Amino acid sequence: MEYSREELTEAKRQIDSLLHKLRAVIKTLEHKEDPQRYRSQITLAERRLAAFEIAEALIAAELSGR
């Protein structure tokens, strides 16, 4: 599927925003009084972070190849 440069740029901008928010969520949960209580939420956020980092890297590679 082909996407325009503008579509890819906007998608990258949105993913960058989500990455920033996910990092903040992870940091917040890890610094709670009992972080083990939030382990499942932390794990989920870390997995989402990894997935979005991959997506961001693929978009960046596509943009640099154009």
User: What pLDDT was estimated at residue 1?
Assistant: 85
Say which residue the tokens 């890890």 belong to.
30
Determine the average pLDDT of the residues in 2-28: 98
Confidence of residue 66 (pLDDT cuts 50, 70, 90): confident
The residue count for the chain: 66
Please, what's the b/e burial string for 36-45 (b: 16 or more CB within 10 A of its CB; e: otherwise)?
eebeeebeeb
Q: Which of 18, 9, 8, 10 is nearest to 50 (CA)?
A: 18
d(CA 37, CA 30): 10
Determine the average pLDDT of the residues in 31-47: 97
Determine the average pLDDT of the residues in 10-21: 98
The whole-model pTM stands at 0.88
User: What does pLDDT average to over the chain?
Assistant: 97
Determine the average pLDDT of the residues in 11-23: 98
Structure tokens at 58: 């693929």
d(CA 15, CA 4): 17
